[in-house]
A and B are shown apart, each in its own frame.
Chain A
Amino acid sequence: MAADLTAELEQLHAAAFGWALSCCGWDRTAAEDVLQATYLKLLDGRARFDGRSSFRTFVFGVIARTAREARRRSTLRRWLPLASLVLGPEAVDGRPDPATALARADQTARLVRALGRLSARQRQVLHLVFYEDLTIAEAAAVAGVSVGTARTHYERGKAALRRLLEDEDRE
């Protein structure tokens, strides 16, 4: 059972890391941290797959929730310095780390910058559809919104992203 789970996770690993990167604003350290926390939840049974969706959608949902928890802890830590004593030392600042940003090609760096200017929901839905090849219904399940809401984010996000990329090309 555990071996099956590990094998399935291994197949999804690259896609899961890409999704974790997106959830953490392309902060590589934060994405690795979120992915480790997600794997731990799955392996020790705190997050169980009940078969209501595809395994991929389920894992992506756990990653999104874990990233949200990490962001919440990070915000709490920023406002309450003493909270670090309880929450531990890890931090998610939601910005691309400089090393990863420098290593990017020009085109992808422009895409990451433009995505960073979209709303979080639009960024999530576009990433899930274009990067992870999920359908809008699957993206809605991962993001925890209705299919109609996901479709609206998809259409508006696409239009906004096109505009932002055109602006980047002009600059």
Chain B
Amino acid sequence: MIERDDHHLRAAFEALRREDAAGTPPFQATVAAARARPAAGPGHRALRLAAAAAAVALVAVVVVSTRRERHGVRLEIDLATVRWQAPTDFLLKLPGDELLRSVPQLGPRRLDWRTL
């Protein structure tokens, strides 16, 4: 693929290759250093996955909370829908208090003589 007018480029790369070759570390030393490296075992991989998952969860929480604040949406609890009963509520019950919850009707009413 190298054309005739590429010869000066080829010569420059050849010089670079010679210089790099002179500084190449010995093969055996490189292999020995490679074997001495700690291999990425399953524990290490699990730690990386856990760290990545934690980072993703953190980013998701930050993004969701930022977007809610930006759009003016806040987490609110409607107190009208919440019913709470104290354990001592039964003490407030009176005998016949259901009569007090109904409103007596006013107006003309005929008397039934049979009940008198």
Contact = CB atoms under 8 A, between A and B. Distances in A.
Question: Do A and B bind?
Answer: yes
Interface of A: 6, 9-10, 13-14, 17-18, 21, 28, 32, 35-37, 39-40, 43-44, 80, 83, 86, 100, 103-105, 107-108, 111-112, 126-127, 129-131, 135-136, 154, 158, 161-162, 165
Nearest to B6: A158
Interface string B5-18: 01001101101110
B17 to A, nearest CB: 5
Nearest to A40: B34
Q: Return the 10 tightest CB-CB contacts between A and B, nearest first.
A: A130-B13, A39-B34, A36-B34, A40-B34, A13-B27, A131-B13, A17-B24, A18-B20, A108-B16, A111-B12
A18 B14 CA distance: 11
Contacts of A18: 17, 20-21, 24
Interface in B20-53: 20-21, 23-25, 27, 30-31, 33-35, 37, 39, 47-48, 51
B30 A13 contact: yes
Interface of B: 1-2, 6, 9-10, 12-13, 15-17, 19-21, 23-25, 27, 30-31, 33-35, 37, 39, 47-48, 51, 55
10 contacts: A10-B27, A17-B25, A18-B20, A35-B30, A36-B30, A36-B33, A40-B39, A111-B16, A130-B6, A154-B1
Contacts, number: 84
A136 B2 CA distance: 10
A43 B35 contact: yes
A56 B6 CA distance: 24
A126 B12 CA distance: 12
A130 B13 CA distance: 6
B20 A6 contact: no
Contacts of A43: 31, 34-35
A36 B21 contact: no
A110 to B, nearest CB: 8
A31 to B, nearest CB: 9
A107 B11 CA distance: 10
Nearest to B16: A108
A17 B48 CA distance: 29
Nearest to A135: B1
A162 B2 CA distance: 14
